[in-house]
Amino acid sequence: MPERYIILSDLHFGRAGPEFTPVSLRGLWRAGDHLIINGDCAELHDPRYWDVARRQVLELEDLCEADGVTLTLLAGNHDPSISPLRHLFLAGGEVLVTHGDVIHPAIAPWCHTAPLIRSAFREAMSTLPVESHATLQSRLWASQHAATVKWERVRDQIGWISPSRLLLRPWAFVQILIYWATFPREVRKFVADYAPESKIVVLGHTHRQGVWIKNGVTVINTGAYGFPAKPRAVLIEGREMSVLPLRRSSAGYVFGKPIARFPLHADSPHPAPPALA
């Protein structure tokens, strides 16, 4: 029987309400063998949320261990130090899983700290050998460094994106809409440059769920549990990948009916850590 991989992202443990805990997600991973959290598992950058975030990450690890499920954490821009892993290749490289903050050098171009992040990204790239600039590992490392620099320098200015906050910054709202519209195309360009063997990319980061096909590359975004709160999951079983909406029940989150299915040309063995820059 083929192993089942479940991919989620953007849990943001620590900042969500008291009802959103690892236990509320347990029914999802119990249906599989491997759980991959594709970035922003927890708010590990903000001292206001550290204690709760760390406690919930430990709870997630303990529950997965108790259920016999292998947990793999990929770092995002809100938890850049949670794991040395920033990406995985599955199905023989046909599927690239990465958080999505690496797509733009400013990580979040709608944010008021975008110039700082972009500068930190460029400085990080300048420290690497020129011949390595075209590699995925170098881009991921520079993005991780830029996220870390941001949180070190603006920790006292951190805010949560919400409809009410966006009303105070209408230009930021316009920038988010522009980025949402252009993101699938930018992902396709990124894959062509840094992971041309991959035909399917699974991301989070933008909080906008969706499935797009751009020039033969399928872009899947699993959304988020916070605003706008339409999370999805990706399920890989053998040589089939499914995208499923998630809904909240009295017992926690459950899968809805698949909204998209994609054939794969290779099974997904237990993912080995990719080479780091």
Q: Which CATH number fits the domain that encloses residue 73?
A: 3.60.21.10
Distance CA 114, CA 77 (A): 13
Domain contains 56 = yes
Compute φ and ψ for 178, nearest 5 degrees.
Answer: -65, -45
53-77: pLDDT as tens digits: 999 999 999 999 999 999 999 999 9
Residue 11 belongs to a domain: yes
Mean pLDDT of 8-13: 96
The answer to whether 135 and 195 are in contact (CB under 8 A) is no
Q: Is residue 273 part of a domain?
A: no
- What is the domain range of residue 118? 4-263
Q: Is residue 229 part of a domain?
A: yes
Residue 164 confidence (pLDDT):
53
Whether 105 maps to a domain, the answer reads yes
Q: Average pLDDT in the 86-104 region?
A: 97
CA distance 55 to 30: 21
Q: Which residue has the tokens 């339409």?
A: 230
**Quick one: which H or E segment has residue 22?**
helix 22-29
HSE-CB for 179 with a 13 A CA cutoff: 21
In SS3 terms, 90-115 reads as EHHHCEEEECCHHHCCCCCCCCCCHH
Residue 274 belongs to a domain: no
Asked, for residue 277, whether it belongs to a domain, the answer is no
Residue 159 has pLDDT above 60, yes or no: no
Residue 124: inside a domain, yes or no? yes
Q: What pTM does this model have?
A: 0.92
Alpha helix (H) ranges present in 77-231? 114-126, 136-153, 163-168, 170-194
Q: Count of domains in the chain?
A: 1
